[in-house]
Amino acid sequence: MLLIWQSLDLRLPDHLVFWAACSHVYFGFLRTSEFTVPSLASFSSSLHLGVQDIAVDSSSAPTCMRIRNKGSKTDPFRKGTFVHIGLGRPPLCTVHSVMTYLASRGDVPGPLFLFQNGQPLSRALLTDWLRQILVSANIPGNFSSHSFRIRAATGAARNGVPDHLIQALGRWSSSAYQLYIRTPSKSLAALSSKLASSQWPSISH
């Protein structure tokens, strides 16, 4: 993540969009389909992430961000769920990066992540930009947008986060014992600072 941050010029609006999205997907353990939009014409406020789906605990000094996830492959009936992200360690802090971006973006309806030309962040664009950064840094591997989710899980495990919390953060449903665990949102949000201490590895996905 630090490598991505160092490769960007956050004075440029589109770089600010990309960094906010990268931070958002990493600390939120998100699947690409949960925050990208194929095209502006395909955007649906009932399906895709928008400005109205982001909330913070304080407008002046936020410490936790709540994202309304409207659906994923583990939520086929689209009941929705909430993702909680707390403060990280600057510059790796989703709360700061997303709020900085939103101050520039404004509250115009539409996809959450919009570039200067009015086009939304798509899976293809995210993957292409990520690969360009990693190739320029001579980091081997066939990276994709899914690498963020893999990296988040790996970083959490390396920092001693218990398996059941990793599964709760990533909203994985592969283990039956998750049905019996209730994880407080504050516990999930507090893990962001641990993820911020990890570097991007050579994982090919």
Q: Tell me: the pLDDT tens digits for 86-140?
A: 999 889 999 999 999 999 999 888 999 999 999 999 999 999 999 999 889 888 7
* Residues 65-70, mean pLDDT to the nearest whole number: 90
The reported pLDDT for the residue numbered 78 is: 67
Query: Quick one: pLDDT band at residue 81, thresholds 50, 70, 90?
Result: confident
Residue 43 located in a structural domain: yes
List, in sequence order, every residue forming a beta bridge with 66; answer none if it has no partner.
55, 84
The reported pLDDT for the residue numbered 177 is: 31
Residue 200 located in a structural domain: no
The reported pLDDT for the residue numbered 202 is: 54
The reported pLDDT for the residue numbered 179 is: 35
Q: Which residue has the higher pLDDT, 18 or 71?
A: 18
Q: Tell me: the pLDDT tens digits for 1-33?
A: 999 999 999 999 999 999 999 999 999 988 888
Residue 160 located in a structural domain: yes
The reported pLDDT for the residue numbered 74 is: 63
Task: Please check the confidence at residue 43 and state whether its pLDDT lies above 70.
Answer: yes
CATH number at residue 13: 1.10.443.10
Q: Phi, psi (5° rounding) for residue 54?
A: -110, 130
| 3 state SS for the chain | CHHHHHCCCCCCHHHHHHHHHHHHHHHCCCCHHHCCCCCHHHCCCCCCCEHHHEEECCCCCCCEEEEEECCCCCCCCCCCEEEEEECCECCECHHHHHHHHHHHHCCCCCECCECCCCCECCHHHHHHHHHHHHHHCCCCCCCCCCHHHHHHHHHHHHCCCCHHHHHHHHCCCCCHHHHHCCCCHHHHHCCHHHHCCCCCCCCCC
Residue 201 located in a structural domain: no
Residue 203 located in a structural domain: no
Residue 204 located in a structural domain: no
Residue 122 located in a structural domain: yes
Q: Which residue has the higher pLDDT, 37 or 31?
A: 37
Task: Please check the confidence at residue 181 and state whether its pLDDT lies above 50.
Answer: no
The reported pLDDT for the residue numbered 163 is: 82
Residue 86 located in a structural domain: yes
Nearest 10 degrees: Cα torsion 144, 150, 154, 156? 120
Task: Please check the confidence at residue 156 and state whether its pLDDT lies above 90.
Answer: no
Count of domains observed in the chain? 1
Q: Which residue has the higher pLDDT, 152 or 62?
A: 62
* Residues 170-176, mean pLDDT to the nearest whole number: 67
- List the domain range (segments joined by +) for residue 159: 2-195
